[in-house]
C-alpha cells in the first residue's frame, strides 16, 4: 500500500530506485567535500554560505521531484531549519563572530547530509509509479563499461606478462610509455578504431597530445603513471589542465583518465577521483580509474 501525501494522493516514485539512489549518493559526497572548504575571511564565509544554499536547494528540488506529486513528507522532512539560539529566546542576542558563522555553515552541511542519508535509506521502501523503468543502456555506455573493466585489470595483466617462459624478453612497465604500449594492445580487443597520440585543440595558447582517441564510441583516454616526482597535487594539477583542454575536442562525450599507481604514490585515491569527476558536464562526462586501487 503506497503512502499518502498531505493531499491524500498516493506517494509513488517518479524515477527508478537505482538512478535516484545514485543521484542522492553523489549529492552526499559533494556535500561532504564542500563542508571541508577552507574558510578564513568574511568574503570566503559569504561564498561558503552561498555554496551551501545552492547545494541545499538542488537537493530539495531532487527530493521534491522524485515523486509523482508534490507536497509530500520527504520534502518537508528535508527542509533546513536554522537551530534556535537560546540567547535569542531570552533577549540576549549577540553579534556572532566570523568563526561562529563558519561553524554554523559546516553544521548545516552535516545536518542536511544526514537527512540525505536517511532519504537514501528510505528509497527502497517506496513504491514506483507504473511505467517507470530504469533507462535503457546505450551502446556508448556498454563501450565505456568495457573500457573501465579493462583498465581495472591492467595491473593484473602487467604482472602476468612480466615473467615469461625460459626468461624470454617481455614488456616491463617502467614508465608512462610502457603503460601506453600495453594499453594500445589491450584496446584492440574491444575497439576497432583506436587512434594513439592525437593533438588536442589549442587551449590558452598551447596544445597537448592525447594518449588515445576511441573515435566510434566518442571516448578520450589519458593514461598517467605515478612516480616519486608525479604524485597527488602535481598529478591532480596536470589532469585539471587536461580536462580544460579536452572539453573542446570535437565529437567526444566522455573523458577517461587512467592512473597506473603501481608504487602507491596517490595517498587519497577516492578523494582524487571525486575531485576530478566533479568537473563533469552532461556533454563531457569524466571517469577515473586508479589501478591498483
Q: What is the per-residue pLDDT for 256?
A: 95
- What lies within 8 Å, CB to CB, of 250 at 6+ separation is 201
Residues 136, 223: Cα–Cα separation, whole Å: 30
Domain boundaries along the sequence of the chain: 12-128, 139-291
Residues 143-199: tens digit of each pLDDT: 899 999 999 999 999 998 888 888 888 888 999 999 999 999 999 999 888 888 665
Rounded Cα–Cα distance for residues 154 and 177 (Å)? 14
Confidence of residue 289 (pLDDT cuts 50, 70, 90): very high
Q: Select the more confidently predicted residue: 289 or 280.
A: 289
Nearest to 279 by CA among 237, 243, 229: 243
**pLDDT value of position 151:** 95
**Backbone dihedral angles phi then psi of residue 132, each to the nearest 5 degrees:** -90, 120
Q: Identify the pLDDT of residue 133.
A: 80
What's the pLDDT score for residue 2?
A: 53
Quote the pLDDT of residue 207: 45
Bigger pLDDT: 117 vs 214: 117
Per residue in 51-73, is it b (16+ CB within 10 Å) or e — as a string?
Answer: bbeebbeebeebbbebbbbeebe
Residues 6+ apart with CB under 8 A from 184: 194, 196, 212
Residues 127 and 286: their CA atoms lie apart, in Å, by 32
> Which pLDDT value is given to residue 214?
86
Cα–Cα distance between 180 and 154 in angstroms, integer?
11
242 burial level (CB within 10 Å; 0-12, 13-18, 19+): buried
**Quick check: 261 and 269 in contact, CB under 8 A?**
yes
Q: What is the pLDDT of residue 281?
A: 85
Confidence of residue 1 (pLDDT cuts 50, 70, 90): very low
Average pLDDT over residues 66-79: 89
Q: What does the block give as the cell for 164?
A: 615469461
Top CATH class of 139-291 equals alpha beta
For 73-89, how does the pLDDT look when each residue is reduced to its tens digit (9 = 90+)?
A: 999 999 998 887 656 55
The residues, any chain, with a CB within 8 Å of residue 166's CB and separated by 6 or more, are none
According to the model, what pLDDT value does residue 206 have? 44
Amino acid at each position: 500500500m503506497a503512502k499518502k501525501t498531505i493531499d491524500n494522493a498516493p506517494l509513488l516514485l517518479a524515477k527508478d530506485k537505482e538512478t535516484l539512489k545514485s543521484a542522492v549518493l553523489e549529492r552526499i559526497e559533494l556535500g561532504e567535500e564542500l563542508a571541508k572548504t577552507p574558510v578564513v575571511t568574511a568574503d570566503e564565509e559569504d561564498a561558503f554560505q552561498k555554496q551551501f544554499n545552492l547545494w541545499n536547494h538542488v537537493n530539495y528540488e531532487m527530493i521534491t521531484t522524485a515523486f509523482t506529486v508534490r507536497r509530500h513528507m520527504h520534502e518537508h522532512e528535508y527542509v533546513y531549519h536554522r537551530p534556535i539560539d537560546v540567547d535569542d529566546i531570552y533577549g540576549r542576542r549577540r553579534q556572532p563572530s566570523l568563526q561562529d558563522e563558519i561553524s554554523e555553515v559546516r553544521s548545516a552541511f552535516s545536518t542536511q547530509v544526514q537527512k540525505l542519508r536517511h532519504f537514501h535509506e528510505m528509497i527502497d521502501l517506496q513504491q514506483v509509479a507504473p511505467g517507470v523503468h530504469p533507462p535503457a543502456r546505450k551502446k556508448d555506455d556498454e563501450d565505456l563499461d568495457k573500457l573501465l573493466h579493462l583498465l581495472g585489470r591492467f595491473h593484473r595483466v602487467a604482472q602476468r606478462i612480466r615473467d615469461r617462459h625460459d626468461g624470454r624478453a617481455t614488456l616491463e612497465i617502467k614508465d608512462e610509455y610502457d603503460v601506453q604500449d600495453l594499453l594500445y594492445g589491450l584496446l584492440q580487443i574491444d575497439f576497432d578504431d583506436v587512434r594513439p597520440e592525437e593533438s588536442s585543440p589549442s587551449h590558452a595558447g598551447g596544445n597537448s597530445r592525447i594518449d588515445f582517441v576511441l573515435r566510434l564510441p566518442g571516448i578520450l583516454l589519458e593514461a598517467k603513471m605515478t612516480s616519486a616526482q608525479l604524485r597527488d597535487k602535481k598529478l591532480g594539477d596536470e589532469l585539471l589542465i587536461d580536462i580544460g583542454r579536452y572539453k573542446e575536442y570535437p565529437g567526444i562525450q566522455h573523458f577517461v583518465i587512467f592512473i597506473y599507481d603501481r608504487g602507491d604514490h596517490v595517498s587519497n585515491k577516492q578523494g582524487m577521483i571525486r575531485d576530478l569527476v566533479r568537473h563533469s558536464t552532461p556533454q563531457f562526462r569524466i571517469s577515473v580509474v586508479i589501478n591498483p586501487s
